[in-house]
Amino acid sequence: MMSFAASMPSGIPLDSVNSSAAVSCSSQIDSPAAVSIRGLTHAYPPPRRQKTRFDEVSGAATTTLLDALVDVNFEIRPGEVFGLLGPNGSGKTTLFRVLATLLRPSQGSVSIFGYDLATQAQLVRRQLGIVFQMPSLDIKLSAEENLACQGYLYGLSGRNLRRRISSLLMEFELGDRCSEYIERFSGGMRRRVELAKALLHQPRLLLLDEPATGLDPGARLDLIDQLQRMQRKLGVTVALTTHHLEDADRCDRLAIMCKGKLVAVDTPAGLKARVGGNIITIQPAQSSRSDEICKLITEQFGPWSAASMPTVHHGKIYIHRDDGPAFVASLGMRLSQDVAMISVGKPTLEDVFLHLTGHTLWN
């Protein structure tokens, strides 16, 4: 569905938005994608400490660029929660910086709600609310003072600004703490203030860089719950980077990234369906024998397809099979002395990442 925030006049307070309001599906057909990325490539220069190399013929210094993004193409639909999933170094933070207009890419094009990022950056910025991985709150100010400062930057003032601040802090369950200094807030509470601050000017696209960083599991789940509730109420499009599988599983769609390349884009369920079958995880009795036992399984239980071939990652053996329970029973009878634990289950997003990239999410 289209963003309510996109069509609301700036003078309408947040508490007047009715979550039951709807925009017709026909209008979405004619609207541009929230984000459209085509052929996006970016390369960084090498670190200064790296030795300079010289061309053997000309003698000129040569520079080897480090690819952070390589020919990335996808779209984010209006009104969806879209996740960028990948380990550190996958390119998701570089992509986030491009979307936030903080980094001009080496090649390719990006448009946000039809505005070209390269030529209409100012118009793009008006569509954005951003929460960075590093905190941006002034801890010597109260929650409402932090939001007021943000409002002034966007030309908001008076009764309208006060109503928006009050409404947002109430939505994020901070209404009774609005006058307290941020330095007294827990990590989860500070993150909620960051979200309220980013939504204050009614952006059409909310960008979140690892929003759950530093939070304990309970606070992280609470934050995601509140974010989803606000997203449904306001209709704002959300794009977030994450390496937390629980957060990624709750997105409408995901882009899986690895080493600067886009590996797949689909719903969490759709990605898991690509793997299908069962994932068998084997913990050898002695982790030092993982490779030996993997070779033994490969030899005794073949033939194998390329997708189902046993692999070792961090001391554990992973196998993809359509006949999971029957295979586990047979495996247990033959290798009972060599194996400490065998588990079988449906594919998780971590299994999907391993299946599609050959790497674990936790490099």
Are residues 143 and 169 in contact, defined by beta-carbon separation less than 8 angstroms?
Answer: yes
Are residues 99 and 125 in contact, defined by beta-carbon separation less than 8 angstroms?
Answer: no
Q: How far apart are CA 356 and CA 190, in angstroms?
A: 36
Are residues 32 and 110 in contact, defined by beta-carbon separation less than 8 angstroms?
Answer: no
CATH of region 277-345, choose from 3.30.70.790, 3.60.15.10, 3.30.70.1900, 3.60.21.10? 3.30.70.790
Domain boundaries, the chain: 4-49+64-271, 277-345
Q: What is the pLDDT along the chain (363 residues), one digit of tens a residue?
A: 333 233 333 333 333 333 333 333 333 334 579 999 999 999 988 776 655 555 555 655 555 778 899 999 999 999 999 999 988 889 999 999 999 999 999 999 999 999 999 999 999 999 999 999 888 899 999 999 999 999 999 999 999 999 999 999 999 999 999 999 999 999 999 999 999 999 999 999 999 999 888 788 888 888 888 888 888 888 999 999 998 888 899 999 999 999 999 999 999 999 999 888 888 898 988 888 899 989 988 988 878 877 778 888 888 888 888 888 888 888 877 787 788 888 898 999 988 988 888 777 765
Closest to 215 in 3D by CA, of 189, 183, 245:
189
| CATH node for 4-49+64-271 | 3.40.50.300
In this structure, the number of other CB atoms found within 10 A of the CB of residue 84 comes to: 28
Equal CATH topology for 4-49+64-271 and 277-345 = no
